[in-house]
Amino acid sequence: MAFPHRPDAPELPDFSMLKRLARDQLIYLLEQQETRGGWEPEWRRQQRRGVKCRPRSQLPGKKDLFIEADLMSPLDRIANVSILKQHEVDKLYKVENKPALSSSEQLCFLVRPRIKNMRYIASLVNADKLAGRTRKYKVIFSPQKFYACEMVLEEEGIYGDVSCDEWAFSLLPLDVDLLSMELPEFFRDYFLEGDQRWINTVAQALHLLSTLYGPFPNCYGIGRCAKMAYELWRNLEEEEDGETKGRRPEIGHIFLLDRDVDFVTALCSQVVYEGLVDDTFRIKCGSVDFGPEVTSSDKSLKVLLNAEDKVFNEIRNEHFSNVFGFLSQKARNLQAQYDRRRGMDIKQMKNFVSQELKGLKQEHRLLSLHIGACESIMKKKTKQDFQELIKTEHALLEGFNIRESTSYIEEHIDQQVSPIESLRLMCLLSITENGLIPKDYRSLKTQYLQSYGPEHLLTFSNLRRAGLLTEQAPGDTLTAVESKVSKLVTDKAAGKITDAFSSLAKRSNFRAISKKLNLIPRVDGEYDLKVPRDMAYVFSGAYVPLSCRIIEQVLERRSWQGLDEVVRLLNCSDFAFTDMTKEDKASSESLRLILVVFLGGCTFSEISALRFLGREKGYRFIFLTTAVTNSARLMEAMSEVKA
Amino acid sequence: MDCYTANWNPLGDSAFYRKYELYSMDWDLKEELRDCLVAAAPYGGPIALLRNPWRKEKAASVRPVLDIYSASGMPLASLLWKSGPVVSLGWSAEEELLCVQEDGAVLVYGLHGDFRRHFSMGNEVLQNRVLDARIFHTEFGSGVAILTGAHRFTLSANVGDLKLRRMPEVPGLQSAPSCWTALCQDRVAHILLAVGPDLYLLDHAACSAVTPPGLAPGVSSFLQMAVSFTYRHLALFTDTGYIWMGTASLKEKLCEFNCNIRAPPKQMVWCSRPRSKERAVVVAWERRLMVVGDASESIQFVLDEDSYLVPELDGVRIFSRSTHEFLHEVPAASEEIFKIASMAPGALLLEAQKEYEKESQKADEYLREIQELGQLTQAVQQCIEAAGHEHQPDMQKSLLRAASFGKCFLDRFPPNSFVHMCQDLRVLNAVRDYHIGIPLTYSQYKQLTIQVLLDRLVLRRLYPLAIQICEYLRLPEVQGVSRILAHWACYKVQQKDVSDEDVARAINQKLGDTPGVSYSDIAARAYGCGRTELAIKLLEYEPRSGEQVPLLLKMKRSKLALSKAIESGDTDLVFTVLLHLKNELNRGDFFMTLRNQPMALSLYRQFCKHQELETLKDLYNQDDNHQELGSFHIRASYAAEERIEGRVAALQTAADAFYKAKNEFAAKATEDQMRLLRLQRRLEDELGGQFLDLSLHDTVTTLILGGHNKRAEQLARDFRVPDKRLWWLKLTALADLEDWEELEKFSKSKKSPIGYLPFVEICMKQHNKYEAKKYASRVGPEQKVKALLLVGDVAQAADVAIEHRNEAELSLVLSHCTGATDGATADKIQRARAQAQKNQ
């Protein structure tokens, strides 16, 4: 159980530095007395843009802090309330669409750069103005300020009343090997709306990593966004060259991957423990709220899930079918350890109580929590006929019994099981089959609209645009249009086009890719989930995650050589790149550390699969993702809901 | 060596003054200097001459001519003066020539006679004329002070940031003051003027009479006044031939001198050296030059020619038609070394080195002498320092050689001072060269800094020399070579006779990718010269596309700017351009531009979605993007509209748009929704309750739950709800109601399209085993086992499974056999299995 790391596995860099950096900067921004220097060459950006340079107004002294809901959990991970209060924060409020009750003379807003927030702040300020009240306002944008936000402030007539700052907090270490940018909106903004604002943020995050942990000697990437982020990052490095030069690289490889290269994996039900917990309870910012049904008390409990939780650390990457067995074994061991005290004399007992008991108790507590979680998962899954669902998914992945699967989905919709689940299955069907046949496309959509309401017409339009749910092209007439469109796409602005058209021109080609990369393992007899053979174990041995397979193949070859056909099928011919520096300063240890960057989010299943691959090959993977995601989050991002 | 001090003139006991030639002037002056307006810039700067300034005739041949020369007399520029009469000339700190005209206009010219700009010293001057003007230097830059015909003063302390200050009136001033000057104290500029026997100090608020302390009696008029280079000292020349020297604050007298010459001097300037205690004033008459200080005697020189004095930081430059000389106090180090019979360590060291070269053992003696006194370090330092003050390279060399010789006998003498002096002298000798003509002294050079010197070389377009100096001094590229190359490029773009391509290519060849060179700055200059095309070509070389954008916007190449901004990947930059475009173009053109730039379009859409919904609609309209337009109206139908009529109308618009987009499906779905909305409204009116905004499925369910079965069925028929769905729906609803009777009726209404297993399941969900069993029997054979197990009839399930001879079913049943009650069943299954195997 719980594969230990190979003894020669390289050490991970210490990412807690990122937390300290972010905390110090925030404190600095909150306490700031004088004009700041050093954090960010703001003047340069302003100069370049010819925007009039405003003196930073300071906000010394006590102030009330308004925090955007999305920022609360990440903020909590690096600076809790007491730290904030130590640094001149008086009261804390959540940014929500309500008038502010604060009576402080100084208001500080900690927000994401969203227009919605600007309007909220504007309404507060304007209300104060109407009431003849003057206060000081400061907006701290995290991770960066967008010009559009300033525009809105100006349009609302309060640009002169508020001062703006940036808190460049873009990387939150959720675990020893997992960094999250906590930008779930990246997925919708980029893959649906074609909004490239966040790419710069990614580039800056990469730049920060390379300044802290040395340059990356080997870079690989696939996807349009990956390429853009990479190029922007390179520009940043060039602008400030000299800083990273001569540093020994700590991380030998970096791999950038767009989420739309592999939607399939993200759409599958997760069956690895951590993924299941995420699917069932939703892990938010590295911690999960276990409800009363798990804690077997009347209270909910917020639990941090990471490598420090010894029990969790051993089961997180396990197939769910193994988890129960492991936990009961663990329980027996624990009991045995407790039982040891029977034969102890006083001195031994004293030792036991002072040294071991606390650990045992802690382990006991965790164990009972995870057992509770397992039970709860089991209950939920059996109720919805989980087996049936998994069977359908596997059928879709393998491409047989399509008709049966289609009617299963239809029934799923008819019974109003779950709008998100139904949508997910439809998308999975569409991607694996290169789009739905027109008849199914129409009928499934009709059924869905009847079940869940007409606003989902927009959801379907979104899904179509993102290439998640499309219609098979009937005959050649449309292929002609397609090729025309795709020509149009490539002609314009050197691959910097993101539009409704681009998804039209794309075919998912999943079946062909699956064959090329051997994603469906041939099973001789039962797949032993206890002793996995390959990464397919994260999907019960039915499917090797495409994203992980690509990474494995490229790392093996140290390039895209020989993968041309796959790249072509992925519609990424122009967006697969390799960049190696000739310097051989990298130690062999660092060359076995790989940073994988998921643009648009990654799932826990992918993380588990790559951790497994790492153990097999003696690598260690570090994950950087715009956010941890799962099928439900992807679908929700695409769904249109009535406000 | 004996003759070395020949040109040293003692003044009092403690100081020597020497005068040596810098250049013999190369200019071919036809006029006497006295017939010209003269201005020479300090720090070895250029000389401007305005010939015939006072001629009133308009004939072209006698029009004034403005000539600019280097300090060595090399012509830099010559132009015919076409503007009004000039009162005074002066150089600014940036080496720009300020020409003050009689009408108060000040014309600013560059070193090469290029007109830069002009400004006026105020409107009142127009009538009154300018009588006199002074250009002076302050910490802020260069100032101009004028005296008007109304005997009023106006000054500006910094012409770069022009703020005119009209000084208060001097009471009772009827005629022009006999002499005046601008003073600069405590960062404020004042005017000091002399009227008859009185002195007045004008500041911006008041006019106050002042008296110099210790002024000799009998003065009835001041003829000349001079302020020192640093504004610290003041000298006054009276009509009695008496010179008063004191602090500029007029609080302290330093010394006085009576020269007994009553003729007004042509010029009087201070000649002192920073950090020296000696004060001296140089007074020039037509043919006589006198250096006076704190001594009873003065030094006198005869002037062969008409000469002009230029005060410098550490001396006075004197130029005439044929020569250019420098007069200064001999620096302490030089004095120590060269004074006749000096025993100073430096002097001995110099001597020692000379003897050494002659291979004489005296060298050792001298050296020993210095060493015995422990003064070798001092000696070396002296030699190094003195070398700096020498003008002749030969003398510099011999002093440095002596220093180097002395250094050999010292442990750990820090080499910096020696190395730097060698470098500095090399630079100084280079710029002092005749062709360059910047006769800087070491002290001036140090005060000016290398950066400014480089700037001045660049200003003189001496790019190769500047670059050589940078390379020689190993200045960082960004400050040094690249900066100069950038300046060169900026000059290059002004060469209008060269074609755009050639200029661009030449610049790129020279500059390449030199770090720190900003092509956009050069392009901006090209644009400034009106060469837009060249600017665009140059921008092509700019590697950072973000840098190209602001200039492109300025040049009104907004569309190009947009694509560059997009290339840069900086969305903020794109947004900036977008807003620019939005204001610049009309709406239609703006949208058309966006259409070709998807990235910008989506950015703008995002903005509009939150901020300008109407614009978003227009945007879709413009694009004929009916699909999005439809979606827009759909969203409006539930987000923006409240009234049902409005909602239906929005949906109608949406449906029309979908038809146009050839999206039949969406159009039909929208029309269905319109029907549904109207119907829901009617239902609400007739039945009460909440129907609006429910999905079709939920509407039907609600009807069933409310007992309106007929209506529900009608609705399902109207909207062609598939049978399967209707059965599921009804089944669930009835079970929720626990209306088992109706459910049974329903189940018998016709053959169930979804089979009967769901019936069993749903009953069990409601924990009604009794009802469930009713349906279990009707379940089709494939699912029978499952159904039986659901209702808990293990035994019968076993029978059916055995009948089916289905291994999977058998195991399923077996797994349900628990406890003793099912023991018999389990056995039965095991037997059946065994049987089956046997049969095979």
CA distance to A117, A220, A554, A562, per residue, from A557 (Å): 47, 11, 5, 8
Place of tokens 């650990």: A359
The CA-CA-CA angle for residues A262, A266, A267, to 5°, reads 110
Which candidate in A190, A234, A457 is best for mutational testing of the B interface (most B CBs within 10 A)?
A457
What was the pLDDT predicted at B58?
55
Give the whole-angstrom CA distance, residue B132 versus residue A624.
74
Higher-confidence residue of A476 and A642: namely A642
| Contact check, Cβ <8 Å, A447/B722 | yes
B94, B80 in Cβ contact below 8 A?
A: no
What was the pLDDT predicted at B565?
85
Q: Which residues of B touch A416 (CB under 8 A)?
A: 697
Instruction: Report the candidate in A422, A396, A418, A391 with the shortest Cα–Cα distance to residue A409.
Output: A422
SS3 content of chain B, % helix, strand, coil (to 5): 50, 20, 30
Look up residue A187 and give its DSSP letter. I
What was the pLDDT predicted at A141?
92
Mean pLDDT of B452-470: 89
Q: Which residues of A touch B652 (CB under 8 A)?
A: none
Min distance B727 CA to chain A CA atoms (Å) = 10
| Contact check, Cβ <8 Å, B673/A416 | no
What was the pLDDT predicted at A226?
93
| Contact check, Cβ <8 Å, B610/A500 | no
Give the whole-angstrom CA distance, residue A53 versus residue B500.
35
Q: Which residues of B touch A115 (CB under 8 A)?
A: 607, 610-611
Element (H, E) at B242: strand B242-247
Which candidate in A201, A406, A450, A504 is best for mutational testing of the B interface (most B CBs within 10 A)?
A450
Q: Which amino acid is at B601?
A: L
Position A426 confidence tier, pLDDT thresholds 50, 70, 90: very high
B829, B802 in Cβ contact below 8 A?
A: yes
Dump pLDDT digits (tens) for A608-632.
Answer: 999 999 999 889 999 999 999 999 9
A286 class by beta-carbon count within 10 Å (0-12 exposed, 13-18 middle, 19+ buried): buried
What was the pLDDT predicted at A55?
43
Give chain B's radius of gyration (CA, Å).
50
Instruction: Name B273's Cβ contacts closer than 8 Å, sequence gap at least 6.
Output: B314, B315, B328, B329, B331, B443
B7, B318 in Cβ contact below 8 A?
A: no
Give the whole-angstrom CA distance, residue B64 versus residue B76.
17
| Contact check, Cβ <8 Å, B550/A458 | no
Contacts with B, A 88-127, CB within 8 Å: 115-116, 119
Position A455 confidence tier, pLDDT thresholds 50, 70, 90: confident
Q: Kindly state whether residue B166 falls inside one of the protein's structural domains.
A: yes
Dump pLDDT digits (tens) for A117-165.
Answer: 998 899 889 988 898 888 888 899 988 888 888 888 988 888 888 888 8
Range in A63-72, A574-583, B460-469, B680-689 with the lowest mean pLDDT: A574-583
Q: Which residues of B touch A232 (CB under 8 A)?
A: 569
Q: Which residues of A touch B599 (CB under 8 A)?
A: 194, 196, 493, 496-498
CB pairs under 8 A between A and B: 148
What was the pLDDT predicted at B403?
92
Q: In percent, how much of chain A has pLDDT > 90?
A: 33
CATH number of the CATH domain containing B134: 2.130.10.10
Whether residue A481 lies within 8 A of chain B, CB to CB, comes out as no
Instruction: Report the candidate in A639, A320, A234, A331 with the shortest Cα–Cα distance to residue A455.
Output: A639
Position B1 confidence tier, pLDDT thresholds 50, 70, 90: very low
Kindly tell me if the per-residue pLDDT of B220 is higher than 90: no
B346, B389 in Cβ contact below 8 A?
A: no
Mean pLDDT of A561-569: 89
Kindly tell me if the per-residue pLDDT of A40 is higher than 60: no
Min distance B161 CA to chain A CA atoms (Å) = 20
Give the whole-angstrom CA distance, residue A73 versus residue B681.
43
Range in A347-361, B403-417, B479-493, B810-824 with the lowest mean pLDDT: B810-824
Dump pLDDT digits (tens) for B44-57.
Answer: 999 999 887 665 55
Domain boundary (B134, B154, B173) is at: B173
What was the pLDDT predicted at A585?
67
What was the pLDDT predicted at B270?
92
| Contact check, Cβ <8 Å, B544/A49 | no
Min distance A96 CA to chain B CA atoms (Å) = 17
Q: Kindly state whether residue B327 falls inside one of the protein's structural domains.
A: no
Q: Which residues of B touch A500 (CB under 8 A)?
A: 627-628
Contacts with B, A 312-331, CB within 8 Å: none
Closest chain A residue by Cα to residue B765: A383
Look up residue A343 and give its DSSP letter. G
Q: Domain tally for chain B?
A: 2
Q: In percent, how much of chain B has pLDDT > 70?
A: 98
Q: Which residues of A touch B673 (CB under 8 A)?
A: 454
Position A44 confidence tier, pLDDT thresholds 50, 70, 90: very low
What was the pLDDT predicted at B339?
85
- Cross-chain CB nearest to A449 (options B602, B603, B669): B669
Instruction: Name A459's Cβ contacts closer than 8 Å, sequence gap at least 6.
Output: A423, A638, A639, A640
Dump pLDDT digits (tens) for B141-193.
Answer: 889 999 988 888 998 888 888 888 888 888 888 888 899 999 888 778 889 99
Q: In percent, how much of chain A has pLDDT > 70?
A: 87
Min distance B328 CA to chain A CA atoms (Å) = 47
Mean pLDDT of A466-473: 87
Kindly tell me if the per-residue pLDDT of A607 is higher than 90: yes
Give the whole-angstrom CA distance, residue B513 versus residue A48.
20
Q: Kindly state whether residue B474 falls inside one of the protein's structural domains.
A: yes
Q: Kindly state whether residue B570 falls inside one of the protein's structural domains.
A: yes
Q: Which amino acid is at B165?
A: R
Min distance B611 CA to chain A CA atoms (Å) = 8
Min distance A119 CA to chain B CA atoms (Å) = 9
Kindly tell me if the per-residue pLDDT of B401 is higher than 70: yes
Domain extent, residue B360, equals: 340-587
Closest chain A residue by Cα to residue B758: A415
Closest chain A residue by Cα to residue B570: A200
Min distance B508 CA to chain A CA atoms (Å) = 20
Mean pLDDT of B500-511: 80
Contacts with B, A 488-507, CB within 8 Å: 492-493, 496-500
Kindly tell me if the per-residue pLDDT of A43 is higher than 70: no
Instruction: Report the candidate in B326, B348, B354, B353 with the shortest Cα–Cα distance to residue B336.
Output: B348
Q: Which residues of B touch A458 (CB under 8 A)?
A: 631, 634-635
| Contact check, Cβ <8 Å, B569/A228 | yes
Summary mean pLDDT of chain A: 83
What was the pLDDT predicted at B57?
54
Closest chain A residue by Cα to residue B634: A455
Summary mean pLDDT of chain B: 86
| Contact check, Cβ <8 Å, B599/A146 | no
Domain boundary (B587, B622, B643) is at: B587
The beta strands (E) that lie in A348-401 are given as none
Q: Which residues of B touch A235 (CB under 8 A)?
A: 544, 569
Min distance A620 CA to chain B CA atoms (Å) = 32
Give the whole-angstrom CA distance, residue A485 versus residue A113.
34
Instruction: Name A265's Cβ contacts closer than 8 Å, sequence gap at least 6.
Output: A543, A545, A546, A547, A548, A603, A605, A606
Alpha helices in A316-356 (DSSP H): 320-339, 346-351
CA distance to B65, B428, B458, B703, B709, per residue, from B735 (Å): 111, 105, 94, 14, 14
Give the whole-angstrom CA distance, residue A287 versus residue A306.
8
What was the pLDDT predicted at B515?
66
- CA torsion, ordered A150, A152, A155, A160, to nearest 10 deg: -40
Instruction: Report the candidate in B229, B33, B210 with the shortest Cα–Cα distance to residue B138.
Output: B229
| Contact check, Cβ <8 Å, A195/B571 | yes
| Contact check, Cβ <8 Å, B575/A442 | no
Mean pLDDT of B70-81: 90
Q: Which amino acid is at A401?
A: N
The beta strands (E) that lie in A370-481 are given as none
What is the residue-wise DSSP string for B774-840? HHHTTS-HHHHHHHHHHHT-HHHHHHHHHHHT-HHHHHHHHHH--TTTTHHHHHHHHHHHHHHHHH-
Give the whole-angstrom CA distance, residue A57 versus residue A42.
14
| Contact check, Cβ <8 Å, B570/A200 | yes
Range in A496-500, B119-123, B134-138 with the lowest mean pLDDT: A496-500
Q: Is the peptide bond before A143 cis (omega within 30 degrees of 0)?
A: yes
What was the pLDDT predicted at A246?
65
- Cross-chain CB nearest to B697 (options A235, A451, A499): A451
Whether residue A239 lies within 8 A of chain B, CB to CB, comes out as yes
Mean pLDDT of A3-14: 74
Min distance A452 CA to chain B CA atoms (Å) = 6
A126, A157 in Cβ contact below 8 A?
A: yes
| Per-residue exposure over B163-179, b if at least 16 CB sit within 10 Å of its own CB, e if not | ebbebeebeeeeeebbb
Position A1 confidence tier, pLDDT thresholds 50, 70, 90: very low
**Chain-centre distance of CA B67, in angstroms?**
36
Q: Kindly state whether residue B147 falls inside one of the protein's structural domains.
A: yes
- Cross-chain CB nearest to B695 (options A450, A498, A500): A450
Mean pLDDT of A89-100: 82
**Tokens read off for B171:** 């009471």
Q: Which amino acid is at B820?
A: A
How many of the other CB atoms lie within 10 Å of CB of B332? 17
Q: Kindly state whether residue B422 falls inside one of the protein's structural domains.
A: yes
| Contact check, Cβ <8 Å, A194/B569 | no
A257, A551 in Cβ contact below 8 A?
A: yes
What was the pLDDT predicted at A479?
44
| Contact check, Cβ <8 Å, B546/A48 | yes
Q: Which residues of A touch B679 (CB under 8 A)?
A: none
Question: What is the DSSP pairing of strand B222-227 with strand B233-238?
Answer: antiparallel
Kindly tell me if the per-residue pLDDT of A49 is higher than 60: no
Dump pLDDT digits (tens) for B326-385.
Answer: 999 999 888 888 888 888 888 889 889 988 988 888 888 888 888 888 888 999 999 999
Q: Kindly state whether residue B552 falls inside one of the protein's structural domains.
A: yes
Q: What are phi and psi of A249, to 5 degrees?
A: -70, 140
Place of tokens 């681009």: A502
What was the pLDDT predicted at A492?
41
What was the pLDDT predicted at A116?
87
Min distance B610 CA to chain A CA atoms (Å) = 7
Q: Which residues of B touch A147 (CB under 8 A)?
A: 571-572, 575-576
Higher-confidence residue of A379 and B465: namely B465
Q: Kindly state whether residue B91 falls inside one of the protein's structural domains.
A: yes
Range in A536-545, A634-643, B104-113, B645-654 with the lowest mean pLDDT: A634-643
Domain boundary (B158, B173, B188) is at: B173
| Contact check, Cβ <8 Å, A195/B627 | no
Instruction: Name B433's Cβ contacts closer than 8 Å, sequence gap at least 6.
Output: none
Higher-confidence residue of A575 and A247: namely A575
- Cross-chain CB nearest to B599 (options A194, A200, A461): A194
Instruction: Report the candidate in B564, B525, B524 with the shortest Cα–Cα distance to residue B545.
Output: B564
Give the whole-angstrom CA distance, residue A580 versus residue A560.
12
The CA-CA-CA angle for residues B170, B266, B148, to 5°, reads 30
Please give the domain boundaries of chain A with CATH numbers for all domains.
16-168 (3.40.50.2060), 174-262+532-638 (3.40.50.1910), 285-383 (3.90.830.10), 388-502 (1.25.40.850)
